[in-house]
Amino acid sequence: MRLPTVLNIEGPVIVFGGGEVGMRKVEYLGAFGAHITVVDEEDLTLPEGVDLIRRKITLDNLSDLIPEGTALVVAALSSRELNHGIAGHCRSLGILANVVDDPDVSTILFPALSMSGDVNIAISTSGRCPFLARKIREELDGGVEELANWLEVLSPVRERLSGIDEKNRVLELVYGDEETARLVRSGDLEGAKARAWEVYNVHSES
Going from the C-alpha of 174 to that of each of 19, 104, 161, 164, 165, the distances in angstroms are: 48, 44, 13, 15, 14
Residue 122 lies in a domain: no
Is residue 115 in a domain?
Answer: no
User: For residue 96, what pLDDT is reported?
Assistant: 96
- Chosen domain end from 110, 142, 162: 110
Asked if residue 94 and residue 177 are part of one domain, the reply reads no
pLDDT digits (tens, 9 = 90+) for 30-43: 988 889 999 999 99
pLDDT reading at 206 higher than 60: no
204 pLDDT more than 80 = no
Indicate if 98 and 25 belong to the same structural domain: yes
Statement: residue 176 has pLDDT above 60: yes
SS3 content of the chain, % helix, strand, coil (to 5): 50, 15, 35
Q: Looking at the structure, do residues 106 and 22 belong to the same domain, yes or no? A: yes
98 or 34, which is more confident: 98
* Same domain flag for 106 and 139: no
Q: Does 62 fall in a domain?
A: yes
For residues 106 and 18, membership in a common domain is answered with yes
- Residue 138 pLDDT > 80, yes or no? yes
Please indicate, yes or no, if residue 124 is contained in any of the structural domains: no
Q: Whole domain around residue 18: which residue ranges?
A: 13-110
pLDDT tens for 78-93 read: 999 999 999 999 999 9
Q: How sure is the predictor about 205, in pLDDT bands with cuts at 50, 70 and 90?
A: low
3-class state of residue 53 by DSSP: strand
> Domain containing 20 — which CATH number?
3.40.50.720
Together in a domain, 74 and 143 = no
In a domain, 117, yes or no: no
The count of C-alpha atoms lying within 13 angstroms of the C-alpha of 45, restricted to the half-sphere facing its C-beta, is 0
Same domain, 23 and 104: yes
Query: Average pLDDT over the chain, rounded to whole?
Result: 91
95 within a domain of the structure (yes/no): yes
Q: Are residues 139 and 74 in the same domain?
A: no
Beta strands in the chain (DSSP E): 13-16, 36-40, 51-54, 72-75, 96-99, 112-116, 119-123
Asked whether residue 126 is domain-assigned, the answer is no
Residues 33 and 96 in one domain: yes
45 and 104, same domain (yes or no): yes
Chain Cα centroid distance, residue 170 = 29
pTM of the full structure: 0.76
Domain total of the chain: 2
Same domain, 137 and 98: no
Task: Identify the pLDDT of residue 1.
Answer: 65
Residue 44 lies in a domain: yes
Residue 9 or 186, more confident: 186
Last-in-domain residue among 48, 76, 110: 110
Assess whether 92 and 137 both reside in one domain. Answer: no
Higher pLDDT, residue 117 or 156: 156
What does the pLDDT average to over 96-114? 91
Torsion of CA 34, 35, 41, 45, to 10 degrees: 80
